[in-house]
Structure 1
Amino acid sequence: MRSFLKWTFRALLLLIVIAVAAGLWKREEITRLMAVNSLFSEEKIVDNFSHMDRAFLTTEVPRGNGPTSPLPYGPDAALPPGTDDWVEERSLTSLLVLKDGEIVHESYYQGTSAEDRRISWSVAKSFLSALVGVLLDDGTIESIDDPVTKYASLLQGGAYDGASLRQVLNMASGVTFDEDYLDFNSDINRMGRVLALGGRMDDFAAHLTETFAEPGETWKYVSIDTHVIGMVVRGAAGKPVADLLSEHIIQPLGLEYAPYYVTDGVGTAFVLGGLNLTTRDYARFGQMYAQRGAWQGRQIVPADWVDASTEPSAPGGAGYGYQWWIPDGSAPGEYMARGIYGQYIYIDTARQVVIVTTAADRQFRAPGANDQNVDMFRAIARNL
């Protein structure tokens, strides 16, 4: 009996040692998973959105050694009635308004500041679109009508086999992907856990097999399409997206602070929503687009790509271009980059107005929330 108890004790001790060792070995993954589970909680969301590098693996997007490009201040703008209520209701953390390239309003809320690099969420998609335009112009990508498998062979035999780059730019791949952020088992949340646990995003995309429509037939917003665009970009150029974005977009813009991407376990940038910049640097990108791709005397993004990518070209009359949103009733040159929880870069080319908001709006899915934001952007633009 004594021998049996001794053996049992040793076995239990060994199990405890193994469990502790496994816990230490997986500590970073467990920490990231716990961070994901509380990322959007009411008491943490504002701070989390300013410090995504605490919870995830990241890679810097070098800003280079050049000077910061000027973003001068103009006369303070009188904002339209209802602005303060809107700021509170939509839980804004920053609001910046440019008129003719000058800052006419800049404010920060909920303890955030101008130095905070805020998470872009899907605003990042529009940055990737800009990069595609540059790579098309220099011949790195031959045509947006090329099949995505031409540059990303890993996708052969999966759901994306047969889809063109144009179709994924338009969110018209026809690939089945559940983007319900409130469903723990949805594809978007499973993808988030792959990211948090250090998995490979490319494998996640390649293992998708189901489609609901032929490529190019139907518009449906599925964020994994943007990851596939990133695979195409990397495959065509033979470089990481962070390096390409730095070289072609970020360094020429002369940002104040180096952005960073959230990455997966092998350093692949989370291009569909993992870019982090300050509010002013989001505004620089927006102003460059308002100037049809020109900045400080240099054409950064081809003007014809700016025009084409911000037209509503998606099938079925959707207000969507190549990773840019075109709101209902938009005038020519009126479009926006848009991310969950209230991140926006709104551009009114005719009025030369750019509006940036960052937010922690946990009610962003409420009926009318997006329309309310667009209405306020238009009211601000008209008021200047």
Structure 2
Amino acid sequence: MKLFLKVLLGLLLLLLLAAVCYYPKLQRVNQVMHFFDREIIVDNFRSTDKMMTYRKIPAADQPSPLPEARTTPPLPASFTYGSLTMAVPAYLDSSYTTGFLILDNDTIRHEQYFRGHTAETPQIVWSVSKSFLSALFGIAVAEGKVESLEQTVDEYCPVLLGSGYEGVRIKDVLQMSSGVAFNEDYADFWSDINQWGRGFAWGASQDAFAAGLEREKEPGTFNHYVSINTHVLGMVLVRATGQNIAQYAKEKLWNPLGMEHDSYWLTDDYGMEMALGGLNTTVRNCARLGSLYEHKGNWQGTQIIPESWVAASVTPDAPHLQPGVRPSSAHTLGYGYQWWVPDGDEGEFLAVGVYNQFIYVNPATHTVIVKHSANPGFTTSSPLGTTEMFLALCREIVKGLG
């Protein structure tokens, strides 16, 4: 009996020790499981620094506020998407907008915040992070730190040898054409993206996750959105530059663009940034990236990103990357280097993140429109969650500005 009690006590002590050791990870996993619950989604989107590890990206050493118009023109009363006509205020409210800004000819013409956010509130922008990462990648190429997009990703990241990424060109990864099998359905509990998310919350290595993916199609032949592709680009960038992504972003984008507000980038427990969607930043900071691309990589007379990189980033250059319905693409929007390209003749392009984060750029009209959101209806069939509906609003706004 005494031996039994000693064994029982020992087991209880082990369980208590395990609970103490693993409680923070269990808590993070639980938070991720409920991250998108309607009652708390808005607060969660602006407070990921209280849940995860991160690296801070301070505001520019010499911040420069964006100029503001003396008078603010009203937003359109309504806009039409397909057979649906919707009042603009109703759309902004129903899609849980937290910040909305219109930059016209480099001047703020409209800026509005909702649900407790302000101009200084950083929130997670999800896959809009990919377009920031693309800008950094272009700078690294220009500096010669990444020699060529024709190189394969495993040349920089040997851990990918034997995975679906072995032998895949950097360019194909940039263009979401890696051929790697991946389910990006956020509504499917067992999808690859949701399994990755739970692993991230537990503290698992993102590099190891990428190295465990398998090949599905011939690289460079099919446009399939795989968020882990951007993580692989982040792996290449870190190894090529010798800096973490947050450091490189501060040096190459935040300082040169005069970013007004502090930002931060989530990291895994191994210190690697969540390159595919972990940037937390403000609406105005996003507007600066849009303006930089509207000006072909030039910021107030200084070429920050090569013009050729910007052009290539927003130009689908192969049949499977073109906008429209086609058997070689899983999407109707076209794709460049981590930027989406809609059909049309004005050269529009967008950065897009889940739950309705957007940077819309129209170089022909010198317009940038940013929307931050925390839309709990994103995974439903509601048109409010679609990029196409936001695009319809942007086109209505552009008509009014003209």
TM value normalised by structure 2: 0.91
Change (3 A) 1:124 1:314: farther
The one-character-per-residue Cα deviations of 1:133-163 (angstroms, maximum 9, x if unpaired) are 1111111111111111111111112100121
- Could you say which residue in structure 2 is the equivalent of 1:371? 388
Match of 2:128 among 120, 123, 127: 123
Distance 1:34 1:314, change over 3 A: farther
Are positions 1:218 and 2:233 aligned together?
Answer: no
Letter in structure 2 aligned against 1:306:
V
- The residue that corresponds to 1:340 in the other structure is 354
Partner of 1:298: 302
Preserved CA contact (<8 Å) 1:364 1:370: no
Matched residue SS, 1:322: coil
- Check the 8 A contact 2:96/2:373 in 1, yes or no: yes
- Does structure 1 retain, via aligned residues, the 8 Å contact 2:179–2:216? yes
Cα deviations by residue, 1:299-330 (Å, 9 ceiling, x for unpaired): 11111111110112354224111100012225
Secondary structure in 2 aligned to 1:98?
A: strand
1:24 aligns to what?
20
Determine the structure 1 residue equivalent to 2:245: 241
Report the counterpart of residue 143 of structure 1 in structure 2. 148
Shift of 1:125: 0.3
What's the CA shift string for 1:360-380, capped at 9, x where partnerless?
112224364321111001111
Alignment deviations for residues 90-144 of structure 1 (CA, whole Å, 9 cap, x no partner): 1211111111111111111112222211101000000111111111111111111
CA distance in 1, matches of 2:215, 2:162: 12
Please give the alpha-carbon distance, in whole angstroms, between the structure 1 residues aligned to 2:112 and 2:59. 24
Amino acid at match of 2:107: E
Shift of 1:62: 3.7
For residues 281 and 301 of structure 1, the distance between their equivalents in structure 2, rounded to whole angstroms, comes to 16
Q: Contact 2:75/2:397 (CA < 8 Å) preserved in 1?
A: yes
Q: Secondary structure at the match of 1:202?
A: helix
1:180 corresponds in structure 2 to 185
The 5 A counterparts of 1:96-107 are 96-107=101-112
Residues 176-185 or 351-360, more deviating: 176-185
Q: 2:363 aligns to what? A: 349
Q: Does 1:162 align with 2:176?
A: no
| C-alpha distance in 1 between matches for 2:94 and 2:382 | 13
Amino acid at match of 1:323: Q
Fraction of identical pairs, as percent: 41
Q: C-alpha distance in 1, partners of 2:251/2:344?
A: 36
1:207-286 mapped onto 2 (5 Å cutoff): 207-208=212-213, 210-286=214-290
- For the pair 1:35 / 2:52, whether they are aligned, the reply is no
CA deviation digits over 1:196-240, x for unaligned, max 9? 1111111110121x2221110111011011111111111222221
Conserved 8 A contact 1:62-1:243: no
Letter in 2 for 1:173: S
TM-score (norm 1): 0.95
Question: 1:76: Cα distance to partner?
Answer: 0.3
| Greater Cα shift, 323-332 or 156-165 | 323-332
CA shift at 1:8, angstroms? 3.3
1:297 Cα deviation (Å)?
2.6
Please say if 1:8 is aligned against 2:25: no
Which residues of 2 match residues 81-120 of structure 1 at below 5 A? 81=77, 82-120=87-125
Once the two structures are TM-superposed, the CA of residue 72 in structure 1 deviates from its matched residue by: 1.1
Provide the rounded CA distance (Å) in 2 between the counterparts of 1:352 and 1:331. 11
- The question of 1:329 aligning with 2:344 is answered yes
Task: From 43, 52, 68, give the equivalent of 1:73.
Answer: 68
- Alpha-carbon spacing, 1:183–1:325, altered in 2? closer, same or farther (3 Å): same
Q: Distance in 2 between matches of 1:234 and 1:7?
A: 55
The alignment partner of 1:212 has SS state of: coil
Conservation of the 8 A alpha-carbon contact between 1:194 and 1:264: no
Partner of 2:80: none
Distance 2:152 2:319 in 1: 18
Q: Does residue 195 of structure 1 match 2:190?
A: no
Calculate the aligned-residue CA RMSD, in Å.
1.4
Distance in 1, Cα, partners of 2:30 & 2:238: 30
CA contact 2:163–2:215 (8 Å) conserved in 1: no
Aligned-partner SS, 2:355: coil
Aligned length: 377
Alpha-carbon distance, 1:337 to partner: 0.2
Q: Which amino acid in the other structure matches residue 372 of structure 1?
A: M
Structure 1 segments unaligned to the other structure (5+ residues):
none
2:388 is aligned with what amino acid? Answer: D
Shift of the 330–344 alpha-carbon distance from structure 1 to 2, 3 Å rule, reads farther
